[in-house]
Amino acid sequence: MTAFLVILFAYLLGSVPTGFLLGSLAGVDVRKTGSGNVGATNVGRVAGKKHGILTLLGDTAKGFVPVFVALQMGLGAAATGLVALAAFLGHLYPVFLKFQGGKGVATALGALLALTPPATLVLMVIFSLVAAASRTVSLASIVAAGAAPVAIWLFGYPPASTGVGLVMALLVVWRHRDNIERLRAGVEPKFTR
């Protein structure tokens, strides 16, 4: 019962539409502007850098907090993995936005940072290197997501944690399918230095 309540808490926290709320404070419906995504990249582009950074921090916290709580409560690896997935799925399919959410990168980052810290630091380095070289957030997100299950496995975490990384990777890549088409066509927006 305790694990179920933490999983439910994780999903509901993950469902909080940080980017939509911050965009609304700036007078912008981020779902109807820019890429239409409620994530930090689009919020930063259409509502300003400050709102983008706050969205990134908020979305990361949505993943980190419930996993941290699960770990402090001593839930097992499988239950804690389900907590991480619940927060992540809450962001992708939020009950508060008719199940139309973001791409999950920041929430996955937060969840994995609590669940598998050293592996996640490696993923952050990979993301940063790809982003710096390509100036494309989506490409960096896709590459880091793809590396997640491998990094988690290499650091010797339980199979449940590797499974969480794999599910997150597959869904992050799937949610970036439009970006992948634009990358292939050479028209994906780049950020300026």
- Do 13 and 90 contact (CB within 8 A), yes or no? yes
Rounded to the nearest 10 degrees, the angle between the axes of helix 117-134 and helix 105-115 is 150
Give me the pLDDT at residue 164, please: 98
Instruction: Indicate the pLDDT class of residue 15, thresholds 50, 70 and 90.
Output: very high
pLDDT in tens, 59-109: 999 999 999 999 999 999 999 999 999 999 999 999 999 999 999 999 999
- As a whole number, mean pLDDT of residues 161-168 equals 98
C-alpha atoms less than 13 angstroms from C-alpha of 33 in its C-beta half-sphere: 18
> Given this model, what pLDDT does residue 139 score?
96
**Domain boundaries in the chain?**
2-185
pLDDT at 193 over 70: no
Evaluate if residue 34 carries a pLDDT over 70: yes
Distance CA 98, CA 84 (A): 21
DSSP symbols for 27-54: T--GGGSTT---SHHHHHHHH-HHHHHH
pLDDT in tens, 55-65: 999 999 999 99
